Chain A
């Protein structure tokens, strides 16, 4: 019973991990850039939700809408400033460029918010299903994660700009030849990726305390998840998120919590060795 309740806990968290990882994998899939500024944007999403809640009294779940918009705009800015000019350069250039953005956000964030932990004081109580106790905040976060995933899927497969993103990801040169302004599409994709990061941050903030540095671990988890699910595959990211969340729920019932990262990154290395294309990876 303890097992099932830990697993449920982990899986619910896994959906939120999935959203963060989807942002990373989307950016990689479209422009083969590894966004090292992903973590700080997750942290900014946390602070965004926090600020809307404490200063404007906005319900943290409603605050996700402006936080998402903010994440999108922030993505445009990061793309325009740091990514666009190195988009055709070797990977190291974009790694360094996004790492620089990472340092800038963390520096500014530390100056403004300091590194003392904050939390959103908003409790919804919990729900009892048989022997399971599920906090409503986890349930709503999962619901939010599922909604954003579904929205992303519908956007990519059923709207013109979404299809243009897939076309650019598939063959940027051909997209350009068909009249698709590929630079704008890349900026949009980057914006969507950071939007997902900010949303994931906002969701996490509703149940965990955080500092401006809190994004880092989630960024690392996102890497593990992306590799599990296959880099560039949004659906794989969700699956990877669930696997990782499930593991995080289960591992502490068998061994000390400090072993969680050991198992996670052990798995990461194992997948890279055995099936580098990821569990759902085709290429």
Chain B
């Protein structure tokens, strides 16, 4: 069953069209990766799917319901949660307050305690940093807060935009390991990642976005063997 269906989505900024009819669907419980060079519209796609950006045409269906015209906060309430590019933490608030804000929607509030334990188990370092202002943490720790804040929202589907950007390879690896652990809990995820080889290695399915359209799609394992993908995105 498909949790999310994106149909023929077009969108852009102030008269500049970025997306030219994107079709994409996410299967429940699967980890999907969206690959593409800089500027092909990956972040635009996520913004449109989340309702931060108004689509020009096309629809977004979540759990069988049309959410195309819902505002971002209503989508978050329904279980669509984005961990945005560049972390976008509440830098002036403590780590714990950031996590509380993640659990703002009534659905997430009920299970705040359990989710907090889960998140601290996933990233033990955050427990030590709970009372610290989020803006004072290192880049890697901030990314952990960003992912944790997203998890606190009790997502049905988690979008992760450029998770490893600006992180050391070791930290990136740690975060990818946490993704595989999350996958085992049955969480549906869409990963947008410039570290293509790492992303494809942990994913079930993948889409390649080029010039505002889905250019290629298939099981991640197959794409790893695809000549064009290897040449363009893996540099092999």
Contacts and interface: CB of A to CB of B under 8 A. Distances in A.
A176 B104 contact: no
A166 B92 contact: yes
A interface bracket (residues with beta carbon within 8 Å of B) = 10 to 19
A82 B76 CA distance: 28
Contacts of B163: none
Given A163-B93, A166-B92, A174-B89, A179 B105 contact: yes
Contact of B149 (A169, A176, A178, A182): A178
Contacts of A174: 84, 88-90
A176 B52 contact: yes
A177 B85 CA distance: 12
A242 interface: no
Contacts of B84: 173-174, 177
B190 interface: no
Interface in A47-103: none
A160 to B, nearest CB: 8
A166 B100 CA distance: 12
Contacts of A182: 73
Contacts of B101: 163-164, 167, 175, 178, 180
Contacts of A173: 52, 84, 88
A133 interface: no
A170 B89 CA distance: 8
Contacts of A167: 90, 93, 97, 101
B90 A177 contact: no
Contacts of A175: 73, 90, 101
Nearest to B97: A163
Contacts of A178: 73, 76, 81, 101-102, 104-105, 149, 153
A175 B92 CA distance: 13
Contacts of A176: 52, 71-73, 76
A258 interface: no
B93 A177 contact: no
Given A166-B97, A180-B101, 14 more contacts: A163-B97, A166-B90, A166-B92, A167-B101, A170-B92, A171-B90, A171-B91, A173-B84, A175-B90, A176-B72, A177-B84, A178-B101, A178-B104, A180-B73
Q: Which 5 A-B pairs have the closest CB atoms?
A: A179-B76, A179-B105, A174-B88, A176-B72, A170-B90
